[in-house]
Amino acid sequence: MAVEQPTRELLPTLVPADWDSGTSAQNSGFNRVRYLQSINDLVKRPLVNRASSSTLDPAILADGSVQSSGVGCAPLQPMRYAEFTVKARVTFNVNSSGPAYVYVYRTLGSIPPNGAAPNLGDVCIGGDAFTGGAMTAGVNQSGAFSYLDTGLAVNKKYSYYLAVMAPNGNTLNLVNSSQVLAMERS
């Protein structure tokens, strides 16, 4: 027996016959249908145009520069406002005392693998690390990030990923299902 999947539609599928003005003119309900479909799209877009990724507690072998964690979300294309709301929640620790930082990067390419430098042209959104600083070895630190990433091209696909920086020769661990989420706003 087939199981019906729940739909993510706010309104039932709209057709001109359902919303016709009652006059005999052709397309007499077209503007109402277009208006209602626009409202439907505006409300459902944050539900259907979103991607997230959470960690399986990766360890990043630090080299003293900004490095990808390999944790990032699938590509998304901004359809309505050329912007995404990007959120992250991380818990991390490092195996030595010293500074450690976490960043969110945007890429038009693939997400760099764990330990690799950001791709040429990747952008640190928000302009800097969103959490970090002086660390005590083995002690967890957490941080949260929420940013409206604007000025995007509606014909391109963007991915977001977590990147880190820690002292050379140390290991930075992302723990407790740290995650990054991107979604189109309504």
Task: Encode 8-22 in three state secondary structure.
Answer: CCCCCCCCCCCCCCC
Is residue 43 predicted with pLDDT exceeding 80?
A: no
Kindly tell me if the per-residue pLDDT of 113 is higher than 90: yes
Over pLDDT 90: what percentage of the chain? 59
pLDDT of residue 45: 60
Instruction: Kindly state the helix (H) or strand (E) to which residue 101 belongs, with its residue range.
Output: strand 98-107
100 in a domain, yes or no? Answer: yes
Average pLDDT over residues 148-152: 94
Q: Are residues 38 and 59 located together in one domain of the fold?
A: no
Q: Are residues 16 and 92 in the same domain?
A: no
Q: State whether 107 and 168 are in the same domain.
A: yes
Is residue 3 in a domain? no
What are the residues facing 158 on neighbouring strands?
A: 76
Based on the domain organization, do 63 and 129 belong to the same domain? yes
> Domain range for residue 129?
50-183
Query: Are 38 and 54 in a shared domain?
Result: no
Q: Is residue 2 part of a domain?
A: no
First to last CA, the chain: 37
- In this structure, the answer to whether residues 106 and 30 fall within a common structural domain is no
* Residue 9 predicted with pLDDT over 70: no
* Residue 1 forms part of a structural domain: no
Classify 164 as helix, strand or coil: strand
Average pLDDT over residues 74-88: 90
Contact 115, 171 (CB under 8 A): no
pLDDT at 53: 83
Number of domains making up the chain:
2
Q: Is 43 in the same domain as 61?
A: no
> In this structure, is residue 58 part of a structural domain?
yes
Calculate the average pLDDT of the chain: 84
- The pLDDT assigned to 3 comes to 41
The reply to whether 68 and 133 lie within a common domain is yes
Non-local CB neighbours of 125 within 8 Å, separated by 6+ positions: 86, 104, 105, 106, 147, 149, 160
Phi-psi region of 69 (alpha: psi -120 to 50; beta: other; left: phi over 0): alpha
> Distance between CA atoms of 118 and 51, rounded to whole angstroms?
20
170 contact partners, CB below 8 Å, separation of at least 6: 62, 94, 95, 96, 98, 100
